[in-house]
């Protein structure tokens, strides 16, 4: 249910912070990625080391750390999340949220985020029942902040009453029900290709390209996030395997093709890989040696299979929706329309990569979606946003076709 979802977990300073270790584990088990932000108060109760070990990610704690800001500004932390969860949410944190204070990383994030926020309050009964806290909760609810708990039970200092943070599994259930409304691709299977391919020359050398795999991996994450059972067939990249996605690591175009064909049947295929157009016709068994005269060897090339065209031409096994990319520098639409017909796919996401656009190697893409019915121009978007938009567009397509 939570496959591919990215949770930004803000941990403020209350004894209930110890429960967030279990919360992280439960979320990870369900396929979510969890990134933690720890307030100074939170750090009195749990250590960054335990959070980092369980989340398998860096823990962010201080807005004034220059290295953190340059590596990962606070805006990006929230941009790269699907939901912000504050657990435990102390009375102080709720008050900061209600007032719009931005006095540390967690509160700054909460003020700057455009993502939905779920709070799990935790405090003693008197603080919870205080009119100030109750008014803050009302203000936050009116702004659309979601909440889970608190519950009644044993509190710190031997007290019993209202204010205990919800148990990790209840918080997980609240998160699942938040996303539950949003699994339009549940029951559908997706194949996504990503990254470059490596074509061996000999046992130590290969032909490759500079594809980062960012776009393909983001698409796999987004499709899985909408509930699709997703297989990501990827060449070598520095990108981490997206949680909740079945990742098949391959090197050559032929291996990518074999793995894609073996992954059929599927409802959709999105080919975002930068497949090498050629391979060396005959890979040498042994490392090629220089000859005495220093004459360079001649490499005969052979044309690689086209994976997109093969999936689109897979007869009965053809996925109902086959999507490819086209990188063009001029006559973008005309060339991409021609590519769509030549490869037999349904949609082409045409990408203007002329130098003036700064797309190549950059973080953003300007997409024109070309289908049978025409051309949709998308605004300049981050690769993550392109992925989200494509996944939603695919979900709409299947909803309409159903």
Q: Which residues are catalytic?
A: 209
- CB-CB contact of 39 with 11 (8 Å): yes
Give Cα 157 to chain centroid, integer Å.
Answer: 41
Can you tell me which of 32, 140, 308, 394 binds ligand CTP, judged by CB under 6 A?
308
Can you tell me which of 59, 148, 191, 326 binds ligand CTP, judged by CB under 6 A?
326
Q: Which of 1, 44, 6, 43 is nearest to 24 (CA)?
A: 6
Neighbours of 362 (CB within 10 A): 12
Burial class (CB in 10 A: 0-12, 13-18, 19+), 359: buried
Closer CB to ligand CTP, residue 91 or residue 266? 266
Q: Does 365 bind ligand CTP (CB under 6 A)?
A: no
Can you tell me which of 174, 220, 327, 369 binds ligand CTP, judged by CB under 6 A?
327
Closer CB to ligand CTP, residue 15 or residue 309? 309
* Count of positions on this chain that bind ligand CTP (CB under 6 A): 15
Residue 189 CA to residue 227 CA, distance in Å, equals 9
Can you tell me which of 307, 312, 321, 332 binds ligand CTP, judged by CB under 6 A?
307
Piece of the chain touching ligand CTP by CB under 6 A; list 98-106, 198-206, 305-313, 314-322: 305-313
Q: Which of 43, 45, 68, 66 is nearest to 58 (CA)?
A: 68
- Give residues with Cβ within 8 angstroms of 390, minimum separation 6: 219, 222, 270, 323, 349
Q: Which of 176, 212, 172 is nearest to 195 (CA)?
A: 212
Could you report how far apart the first and last alpha carbons of the chain are, in Å?
22
Rounded to a whole number of angstroms, the minimum distance from the CB of residue 351 to ligand CTP is 8
Closer CB to ligand CTP, residue 184 or residue 216? 216
What is the contact mask toward ligand CTP in residues 193 to 232, using x (rule: CB under 6 A)? x---------------------------------------
Closer CB to ligand CTP, residue 123 or residue 323? 323
Burial class (CB in 10 A: 0-12, 13-18, 19+), 309: middle
What is the contact mask toward ligand CTP in residues 256 to 275, using x (rule: CB under 6 A)? ---------------xxx-x
Can you tell me which of 147, 166, 259, 304 binds ligand CTP, judged by CB under 6 A?
304
Closer CB to ligand CTP, residue 224 or residue 275? 275
Can you tell me which of 123, 253, 312, 386 binds ligand CTP, judged by CB under 6 A?
253
Piece of the chain touching ligand CTP by CB under 6 A; list 17-25, 88-96, 304-312, 383-391: 304-312
Residue 310: both structure tokens together? 């093969």
- CB-CB contact of 136 with 95 (8 Å): yes
Q: Which of 165, 160, 144 is nearest to 13 (CA)?
A: 165
Closer CB to ligand CTP, residue 184 or residue 213? 213
Chain residues in the site for ligand CTP (CB under 6 A): 193, 253, 271-273, 275, 304, 306-308, 324-327, 339
């Amino acid at each position: 249910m939570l496959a591919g979802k990215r949770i930004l977990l803000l941990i403020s300073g209350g004894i209930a912070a110890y429960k967030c270790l279990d919360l992280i584990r439960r979320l990870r088990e369900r396929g979510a990625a969890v990134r933690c932000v720890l307030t100074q108060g939170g750090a009195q109760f749990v250590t960054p080391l335990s959070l980092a070990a369980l989340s398998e990610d860096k823990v962010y704690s201080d807005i004034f750390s220059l290295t953190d800001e340059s590596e990962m500004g606070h805006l990006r932390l929230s941009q790269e999340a699907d939901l912000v969860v504050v657990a435990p949410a102390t009375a102080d944190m709720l008050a900061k949220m209600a007032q719009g204070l931005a006095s540390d990383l967690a509160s700054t994030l909460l003020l700057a985020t455009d993502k939905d926020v779920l709070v799990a309050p935790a405090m003693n009964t008197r603080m919870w029942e205080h009119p100030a806290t109750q008014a803050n909760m009302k203000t936050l609810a009116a702004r659309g902040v979601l909440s889970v708990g608190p519950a009644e039970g044993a509190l710190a200092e031997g007290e019993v009453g209202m204010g205990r943070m919800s148990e990790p599994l209840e918080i997980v259930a609240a998160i699942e029900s938040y996303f539950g409304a949003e699994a339009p691709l549940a029951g559908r299977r997706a194949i996504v290709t990503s990254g470059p391919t490596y074509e061996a020359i000999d046992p130590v050398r290969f032909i490759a390209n500079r594809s980062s795999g960012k776009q393909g991996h983001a698409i796999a994450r987004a499709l899985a996030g909408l509930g699709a059972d997703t297989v990501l067939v990827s060449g070598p990249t520095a990108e981490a395997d997206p949680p909740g996605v079945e990742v098949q690591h391959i090197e050559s175009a032929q291996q990518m093709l074999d793995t894609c064909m073996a992954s059929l049947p599927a409802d959709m295929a999105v080919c975002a890989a930068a497949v090498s157009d050629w391979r060396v016709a005959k890979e040498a068994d042994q490392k090629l040696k220089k000859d005495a005269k220093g004459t360079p060897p001649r490499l005969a090339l052979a044309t690689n299979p086209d994976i997109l065209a093969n999936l689109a031409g897979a007869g009965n096994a053809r996925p109902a929706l086959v999507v490819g990319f086209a990188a063009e520098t001029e006559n973008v639409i005309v060339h991409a329309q021609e590519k769509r017909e030549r490869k037999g796919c349904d949609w082409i996401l045409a990408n203007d990569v002329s130098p003036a656009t700064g797309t190549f190697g950059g973080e953003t893409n300007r997409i024109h979606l070309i289908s049978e019915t025409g051309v949709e121009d998308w605004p300049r978007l981050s690769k993550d946003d392109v992925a989200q938009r494509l996944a939603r567009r695919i979900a709409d397509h299947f909803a309409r076709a159903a």
